[in-house]
Amino acid sequence: MGMFIAQSVLHSLIAAIIVDRAIQIWGIGDPLVKQRFCLIVILFPIFSFHGYQMINPERGAISFRLNAIFDINRWLKLEFWNIPLGLLFILILSGTTLIFFFQEMIPILRHTFESKEHAFHEKKADDYPPISDALRGLSVEKPETFIIEDRDRILFSIMGERPAIFLSTGLVEILNSEEIVTAIAHEIAHIRRNKRPILVIVFILRVLMFFNPVVLLEFRRAVQEEEKICDDMAVSLTQKPHVLAETLRKLYYEVKDFNPLKNGNLSNLKDSLEEYSHNIHIMNRIIRLEQGSVSGNGGEWMKFILTLAVIVVINYFVV
């Protein structure tokens, strides 16, 4: 088990470096293609260890390690200032595990239970003129849309057999008719994407790699690309990228000075960093939409296969 954990982290790190270089060298900007490359980093280390062992059962022997490109056992035995590198490695994995459970699993479980217990006071959008009028301009099959009586800006969708979209009265009040359409179109894109079982399977497999810091970062990157994919799908439905950009600016972007160390206070450092990262991501989406950088057809399969082949070959000699 220890060998699997160590090699999977190393394999994902090498895969991430190769994927980043491939995206940069080939100038890949399509979020659908970039997400596909991210999935290599997330999924490859799950199967690489056992796959290589099936190809060569002697891969872990000393004779193979002597000729390997990288032997992690040698590095983990090194000491820096009398601190074993193996101990630092374990601390990093432990920290990643805690981050996974507290920032990902617990919020998901809490949201699941709260959704079952919480009863929204909503009404159908057909009974709310601003929404019903806006929806007439969206010429696609639309899921049920509901209005929540709430002053906060709320927008979310639920999946399942009967998907639905929920908007709050506070959100509707700050958006015009075109912006409401683009917001709903974005949620329709999420509903369409979540009908694909591959996304659910990827999340389940990502859970199996909860200890891996590289997979943690790459999965978050894949989620960010998912938002851009849904932006592009929304634009394909509305043909109004600038309207969607303005909608994002109104709903999610907040202009704040980034100064987490103000007055020497470190208590809000984590929240400040997360808020700053969120703003950067939203701003990137806004700039992308305003520049008209929508995705293509999701091709680039030969580049994907070549990148995967390079990762498979190199990681075979990393034990």
Backbone angles phi and psi of 193, in degrees to 5:
-65, -35
Number of Cβ within 10 Å of residue 51's Cβ equals 13
Give the H or E element holding residue 84.
Answer: strand 83-84
Query: Strands of 164-168's sheet, edge to edge?
Result: 122-124, 144-148, 164-168, 155-158
Q: What is the pTM of this model?
A: 0.85
Report whether pLDDT(258) > 50. no
Supply the pLDDT for residue 256: 47
- Positive/negative CA dihedral, 284, 30, 205, 18: negative
Nearest to 233 by CA among 279, 163, 184: 184
Residue 177 CA to chain centroid, in angstroms?
Answer: 29
pLDDT digits (tens, 9 = 90+) for 183-235: 999 999 998 888 777 777 888 888 889 999 999 999 999 999 999 999 999 99
Q: DSSP for 109-174?
A: HHHHHHHHH----EEEGGGSHHHHHHHTT--S---EEEEE--SS--EEEE-SSS-EEEEEHHHHHH
Is 12:78 a contact under the CB 8 Å cutoff? no
End-to-end distance of the chain based on CA atoms, in angstroms? 14
DSSP letter at 263? G
| Among 280, 177, 289, CA closest to 242 | 289
User: What DSSP character marks residue 83?
Assistant: E
- Residues 6 or more apart from 20 whose CB is under 8 A from it? none
Q: In this predicted model, what pLDDT tens digit does every residue of 274-316 receive, in sequence order?
A: 777 778 888 999 999 988 766 666 668 899 999 999 999 999 9
Domain ranges of the chain: 2-316
Query: Which ranges in the chain belong to alpha helices (H)?
Result: 2-26, 31-55, 62-66, 72-76, 85-100, 106-117, 129-135, 169-174, 177-194, 197-208, 213-238, 241-251, 269-290, 301-316
Q: For the ranges 122-126, 131-135, 151-155, 259-263, which has the lowest average pLDDT?
A: 259-263
pLDDT of residue 125: 67
Could you tell me the pLDDT band of residue 265, with boundaries at 50, 70 and 90? low
What's the mean per-residue pLDDT of the chain?
83
CB neighbour list of residue 173: distance below 8 Å, 6 or more residues apart: none
pLDDT of residue 262: 52
155 phi and psi angles, rounded to 5 deg: -150, 120
**Rounded CA gap, 44 and 11, in Å?**
8
Calpha distance 143→184 (Å, rounded): 10
Pairing of strands 122-124, 144-148: antiparallel
The mean-pLDDT minimum among 136-150, 169-183, 203-217 falls in 136-150
The model's confidence at residue 122, banded by pLDDT at 50, 70 and 90, is low
